[in-house]
A and B are shown apart, each in its own frame.
Chain A
């Protein structure tokens, strides 16, 4: 490994070994986008199959696999990594840090996500993907033939381990690495939501780890956890899955709330209304998120008392969420609103997400849920919150932070086409699904009969899906044709938070001198009351940076090989993988890495170019 950043490394080697949070953020972005595209194509296959009654475009078994992989990929491998992309890139900048707390573990987390995702998708080429839905309920999952479910179990274990590491890394970074003056109550909302999201990851993912472990014990080692004939109990799996699964929903929405708070405040040119209420609402949502998991199990037969408790707890979440909605509206109120693409997505989010919230309260009524359960009403509900919330948040963040991440601005005019097509396509696809569900169309079924009043709405839904797919192509085109917009990228939106005080693209060390934070919206404060530059909290000096390392990839490769061995119950491959894995961990733990220093002269030269 090289001892200095100045020595020449090949570009590929640099990216494979990087521990720079910004490069890891960019890798998360493209990794997430790759899986988003795959999962989107899977959605299109389903909408083609359902475009007309009794279609035979997809075989039933294939349909089951496609629907399972669509959900699993979107949630674990697309939405979460795309949020991790922005968290990685933006949060250290927002708190004025040079790096994250654990750069090595950060890189390990990324590779685990990527290899876990690839392992899961390898199942397409080895005899069939998992087919038991993204929830993988037992005994459907424990009795599913072939190795599809084994890929599901091991792929998610590998990528889940990476997610857990990233969560701990964000938590410690936010607690320990803040610049002088950046108190907790001066942190930008996106940093706050990253903090609470990471807490949720920390306490939710281990439940999934155990759920998957028990599935593995049953499927691969002949255990009897979910084998009723041997005294097993399948409801235990449902509890474990949803103790993870409901917080997971908030893991997917809280970062979006943070993004919208940044975007709305920036483009209304106003300080966020009710900052402290926003922070506490985030914490309350995070806390209540752990109290409501059984609302997914109303029809299992838990009894009226348990159902009632979980119903009321679920409805209570509408209160802090409502506080947030009103605070966004009041931030906009009287603001000088600029309708940029980033802000358009934020503005469209408010009504779209409220619709998803209203159907959420409907579903929370446990008595009524017997009617809604397992119908397209549920499908419509969670797509309204996940697309109207999380995906809009991701797109908003993409347009907002793109200049900082990539050094050029995405085209606003092409972006507006993208926004309107996507928005209309989204509502076309999912609005009608409420009614499909109410008149009795079950979810997760490969076809429907003619003459039952389902034809027109299914056709409309499929047309909407095509519009969304077309809109997504416009986004990809935008990425390529906008490359020349390299002017005005340092602070294009007249930003408020610290990331806009850095150069674009950001230097390896983020800030030549650690900034001194004097107020909430630190950069905005200096623009209004200072000279428009951050005050320095330290003299200009050599900067210590960690060395890159190839070990994260080797550790991950070992773990992936071992997982592959587990899938096929082949001890030799398991042992080989574990040897690679523990060998690399051993090397890491005995090899002292002191990092390297960037000399003042080099920093001065780069700062001179930057200004």
Chain B
């Protein structure tokens, strides 16, 4: 296996994230993991769709949801996916400083999204939508909350990477780590697009 310090002195290959067997294993393993995550969210969406009409007198989607807030959240998360794409472009070009800057931008946008979500849940709670008031409430909080927990984990993960490798430069051992973190970030972004459509748009319009 390539020693990271030795590797740092040599020119990096075009795809540093897949240059070693370890990197390729991480890359492929992570795609499989995202396959499992897809089933996880699919199941949560299924449960939500089965229960979204069961408001039982407690506030329902059309009373609660404000599309302007959710639209801002969506834009923030989509932009964070874009910044993470810029990060990967710089990873492949070997521009370490720019990689760090774009990743920090991704983290900042993720944190902004999370604060909006916490505000949103806080609002709903004060409008009478506790977790236990109806089957709709339970399934809404579980689906959107599981996504939020994924965002929070992603923020913590990328922050750890950024602090751990703040001075190391791009190496064959950390390139796959940045790359899989970005894959994960895209995945939770895609899940949010589905939540935006199925939960919010359908909740207000359908």
Q: Quick check: B25 and A176 within 8 Å, CB to CB?
A: yes
Given A231-B51, A589-B160, A594-B3: A206 and B136 interface contact (C-beta under 8 Å): no
The CA of A223 and the CA of B35, in the complex, are separated in Å by: 28
- Does A217 make an interface contact (CB < 8 A)? yes
List of B residues within 8 angstroms of A594 by Cβ:
1, 3
Interface residues in A238-262 by Cβ distance below 8 A to B read 239-240, 243
Binary interface encoding of chain B residues 147-185 relative to chain A, with 1 for a CB under 8 A from any of its CBs, else 0 = 000000000000011001000000001000000000000
- Does B128 make an interface contact (CB < 8 A)? no
Q: Quick check: A231 and B134 within 8 Å, CB to CB?
A: yes
Q: Quick check: A175 and B28 within 8 Å, CB to CB?
A: yes
The CA of A126 and the CA of B135, in the complex, are separated in Å by: 31
Chain A: residues with Cβ within 8 Å of the partner, total of 44
Binary interface encoding of chain B residues 23-47 relative to chain A, with 1 for a CB under 8 A from any of its CBs, else 0 = 0110011001101110110011011
Choose one: A177, A209, A214, A227; the contact of B47 (CB below 8 Å).
A214
Given A206-B43, A207-B39, A243-B43: A586 and B160 interface contact (C-beta under 8 Å): yes
Q: Quick check: A236 and B51 within 8 Å, CB to CB?
A: yes
List of B residues within 8 angstroms of A590 by Cβ:
160, 164
Given A207-B39, A223-B142, A590-B160: A233 and B54 interface contact (C-beta under 8 Å): yes
Q: Quick check: A217 and B29 within 8 Å, CB to CB?
A: no
Given A164-B36, A207-B43, A239-B46: A224 and B137 interface contact (C-beta under 8 Å): yes
Q: Quick check: B135 and A172 within 8 Å, CB to CB?
A: no
Residue on B nearest A170 in the bound complex, by CB: B32
- Does A210 make an interface contact (CB < 8 A)? yes
List of A residues within 8 angstroms of B21 by Cβ:
176-177
Q: Quick check: B39 and A213 within 8 Å, CB to CB?
A: no
List of B residues within 8 angstroms of A544 by Cβ:
1
Given A222-B132, A223-B138, A232-B135: A202 and B51 interface contact (C-beta under 8 Å): no
Choose one: A202, A221, A231; the contact of B56 (CB below 8 Å).
A231
Q: Quick check: B138 and A217 within 8 Å, CB to CB?
A: yes
Residue on B nearest A290 in the bound complex, by CB: B39
The CA of A223 and the CA of B51, in the complex, are separated in Å by: 12
The CA of A233 and the CA of B139, in the complex, are separated in Å by: 11
Q: Quick check: A214 and B142 within 8 Å, CB to CB?
A: yes
- Does A399 make an interface contact (CB < 8 A)? no
Chain B binding site: helix, strand, loop or mixed by DSSP? Answer: helix
- Does B127 make an interface contact (CB < 8 A)? no
Interface residues in B41-68 by Cβ distance below 8 A to A read 43-44, 46-47, 50-51, 53-56
List of B residues within 8 angstroms of A239 by Cβ:
46
Q: Quick check: B1 and A595 within 8 Å, CB to CB?
A: yes
List of B residues within 8 angstroms of A164 by Cβ:
36
List of B residues within 8 angstroms of A231 by Cβ:
51, 53-56, 134-136
The CA of A220 and the CA of B43, in the complex, are separated in Å by: 20
- A510, chain B: closest CB distance, angstroms: 16
Choose one: A169, A213, A233, A592; the contact of B135 (CB below 8 Å).
A233
The CA of A227 and the CA of B3, in the complex, are separated in Å by: 57
Q: Quick check: B51 and A233 within 8 Å, CB to CB?
A: yes
Choose one: B33, B47, B132; the contact of A210 (CB below 8 Å).
B47
Given A231-B51, A236-B50: A176 and B36 interface contact (C-beta under 8 Å): no
The CA of A221 and the CA of B135, in the complex, are separated in Å by: 13
Interface residues on B, range: 35 or more
- Does B125 make an interface contact (CB < 8 A)? no
Given A222-B132, A243-B43: A176 and B28 interface contact (C-beta under 8 Å): yes
- Does A1 make an interface contact (CB < 8 A)? no
- Does A364 make an interface contact (CB < 8 A)? no
- Does B131 make an interface contact (CB < 8 A)? yes
Given A210-B43, A230-B134: A101 and B142 interface contact (C-beta under 8 Å): no
- Does A171 make an interface contact (CB < 8 A)? yes
- B46, chain A: closest CB distance, angstroms: 7
- A310, chain B: closest CB distance, angstroms: 17
Choose one: B4, B37, B51; the contact of A225 (CB below 8 Å).
B51
- Does A493 make an interface contact (CB < 8 A)? no
- A14, chain B: closest CB distance, angstroms: 23
Q: Quick check: B138 and A225 within 8 Å, CB to CB?
A: yes
Q: Quick check: A202 and B29 within 8 Å, CB to CB?
A: no
The CA of A206 and the CA of B41, in the complex, are separated in Å by: 9
Interface residues in B1-25 by Cβ distance below 8 A to A read 1, 3-4, 21, 24-25
The CA of A225 and the CA of B36, in the complex, are separated in Å by: 23
The CA of A595 and the CA of B3, in the complex, are separated in Å by: 11
The CA of A172 and the CA of B32, in the complex, are separated in Å by: 8
- A571, chain B: closest CB distance, angstroms: 16
Residue on A nearest B3 in the bound complex, by CB: A594
Given A202-B35, A206-B37: A223 and B47 interface contact (C-beta under 8 Å): no
The CA of A236 and the CA of B137, in the complex, are separated in Å by: 16
List of A residues within 8 angstroms of B40 by Cβ:
206-207, 209-210
Q: Quick check: A233 and B29 within 8 Å, CB to CB?
A: no
- A586, chain B: closest CB distance, angstroms: 7
- Does A152 make an interface contact (CB < 8 A)? no
Q: Quick check: B32 and A171 within 8 Å, CB to CB?
A: yes
Given A101-B25, A168-B36, A207-B39: A224 and B135 interface contact (C-beta under 8 Å): yes
Residue on A nearest B145 in the bound complex, by CB: A217
Choose one: B1, B46, B53, B131; the contact of A223 (CB below 8 Å).
B131
The CA of A365 and the CA of B185, in the complex, are separated in Å by: 46
Given A213-B142, A222-B132, A239-B46: A172 and B29 interface contact (C-beta under 8 Å): yes
Task: List 12 contacting pairs A-B, 8 Å CB cutoff, sorted by A.
Answer: A101-B25, A171-B32, A176-B21, A207-B43, A217-B138, A222-B131, A224-B54, A225-B51, A230-B133, A231-B54, A236-B47, A589-B160
Known: A176-B28, A231-B135. 11 other contacts (CB 8 A): A169-B29, A172-B29, A172-B32, A210-B43, A211-B43, A213-B142, A214-B142, A221-B132, A223-B142, A233-B51, A236-B51
Which 10 residue pairs of A and B lie closest in terms of their CB atoms, listed nearest first? A231-B54, A210-B43, A206-B40, A231-B135, A223-B138, A206-B39, A222-B132, A101-B25, A231-B56, A232-B135
